[in-house]
Amino acid sequence: MANSNFTPRQILNRAIGKENEAKMMYEIYSEKVEDPRSKKLLKELAQEELGHKRALERIDPDHPGAFKCPTISSTEFSDFSSRPEISKESTMQEVLRYAIAEEQDAFNYYTSLTDYASDKKLHDVLCKLAAEEKAHKQKLERMYDDMFQPEN
């Protein structure tokens, strides 16, 4: 991956896009899964991702002092996973594996961004989002275990 520099606005726009993708994925798969608890969890996660998107949209990355520097190197985010996209034909097991990895990446993303936040309110929002993404991952891991490793 070539090293590129991104503005805080570009970084936030990427995060907003990822939150929207996660929301749509959870909505789609909440309709496909038959287990009522799984259906409920996926619908809840979709709503939480919508809340994350809205929280990110309220951040003004151009506000003086919001971020410590005008650009952020892509090398700061190079550890994020690359994985094949899921499709309509994907199994629930594939979707859950994908979602677990996405939630881990979101946690890493927001945790990395906190290093660049000068503003305390912005820092707190990013920390809260990171904690919520970690909680999502844990919920999905429990769901995965319940569905695909019930003997554990």
Task: Give the model's pLDDT for residue 127.
Answer: 95
Task: Give the model's pLDDT for residue 1.
Answer: 45
What is the b/e burial string over 55-88, where b = at least 16 CB atoms within 10 angstroms of the residue's CB? bbeebeeeeeebbeeeebeeebbeebeeeeebee
More reliable by pLDDT, 90 or 55: 55
The answer to whether residues 3 and 74 touch, using CB atoms and an 8 Å cutoff, is yes
Say which range, 7-11, 63-67, 116-120, has the weakest mean pLDDT. 63-67
User: How do residues 50-60 score in pLDDT, each as one tens digit?
Assistant: 999 999 999 88
pLDDT at 45 over 60: yes
Task: Give the model's pLDDT for residue 87.
Answer: 74
Q: Is the pTM of the predicted complex or chain greater than 0.75?
A: yes
Task: Give the model's pLDDT for residue 90.
Answer: 79
Say which range, 34-43, 46-55, 59-68, has the weakest mean pLDDT. 59-68
Query: Helix crossing, 92-114 with 8-32: angle to 10°?
Result: 160
Which domains does the chain show, CATH number per domain? 5-148 (1.20.1260.10)
Q: What is the mean pLDDT of residues 71-77?
A: 70
